[in-house]
Amino acid sequence: MTTSQISLSNLLKSSWQTFKNNALVFTALSVFATLSGMYTTDMGARMLTAESGYTLFAPATHNLFALVIAYIIWFFSYYFFTVLSVKAVYNTKLTENNFTFNFKNFLKFWATAAISLLIVSIGLFLLVVPGIIFLLALTFACYIVVDKPDTTIIQALKQSSLITKGHRWRLLGIIALFFAPLILMSVSLLFEFLQILVIPLFTICLAHMYKQLLESKNSAV
């Protein structure tokens, strides 16, 4: 795969085809992630404002156990989004053999995400532009961790920075393309429904780009 073949139109076509081939799996996962995200957001807002009465989900008797369960569902949902997206771009159609769970890899995934977020946050705090550059450079670190479980966190961060070099403007365009509608619809009731479709497509699109960049890098060696 050459650099010229890594185009936005090809990525979108491939992503849509992958989503269609596994629509039930990704839609169900997206619903779980969206509902758990709505619950935690609603609960967090209530805890901060100390509101009484009823909310979107339940009375004021929300309990800590329910909130913890919602966060666990959210964490697992987004982990599996990445895992299944990577597997789907390699295997086209997901099978029962693809639904495996590695707790050690799960912890490494979120540790990688946390370190990436810390680096990006420092960049944004010092000056906005470095934060954006760090965000783009480290985008595929978590994908590398799930695709190559034996890779260390530091190696994943370095490899992500390496394969995104020269492609970060394209990557920024993809992020803007998927999240611009969400930002525009954030004040609408349609936001959550749009999110159910956008999240899996975005994750799958990044998985396709990761695969193509990796193949491009390997073919150049």
Single-letter residue type at 147? D
pLDDT on residue 123: 93
Q: Give the Cα separation of 9 and 120 in Å (integer).
A: 28
**How much of the chain, in percent, has pLDDT values that exceed 90?**
49
* Helix 103-126 and helix 153-164, axial crossing angle in degrees, nearest 10: 60
Supply the mean pLDDT for the chain.
Answer: 83
**pLDDT tens per residue across span 156-182:** 999 999 999 999 999 999 999 888 877
For residue 12, count CB atoms less than 10 angstroms from its CB and return exposed for 0-12, middle for 13-18, buried for 19 or more.
middle
| Better-predicted residue by pLDDT, 153 or 219 | 153
**pLDDT tens per residue across span 86-140:** 999 998 788 888 888 899 999 999 999 999 999 999 999 988 889 999 999 999 9
Res. 53: pLDDT tops 70: no
Res. 77: pLDDT tops 90: no
Q: Give the Cα separation of 185 and 178 in Å (integer).
A: 12
| Better-predicted residue by pLDDT, 175 or 218 | 175
Looking at the structure of the chain, the number of domains it has is 1
Q: Which pair of tokens denotes residue 180?
A: 């611009």
Which residue in the block uniquely carries the two structure tokens 């509101």? Answer: 51
Res. 1: pLDDT tops 70: no
Res. 145: pLDDT tops 80: yes
For the ranges 6-15, 47-56, 122-131, 142-151, the one whose mean pLDDT is highest: 142-151
**Cα-based distances in Å from 132 to 1, 56, 141, 166, 189:** 27, 34, 15, 15, 29
pLDDT interval class at 219 (50, 70, 90): low
pLDDT on residue 56: 45
**pLDDT tens per residue across span 188-208:** 667 667 888 888 999 999 999
How open is the CA angle 27-29-30, to the nearest 5 degrees? 60
Whole-prediction pTM: 0.84
170 CB neighbour count, 10 Å cutoff: 17
pLDDT on residue 59: 45
pLDDT on residue 72: 80
Q: What is the extent of the structural domain holding 58?
A: 3-220
Report, as an integer, the average pLDDT of 139-148.
96
Report, as an integer, the average pLDDT of 2-30.
85
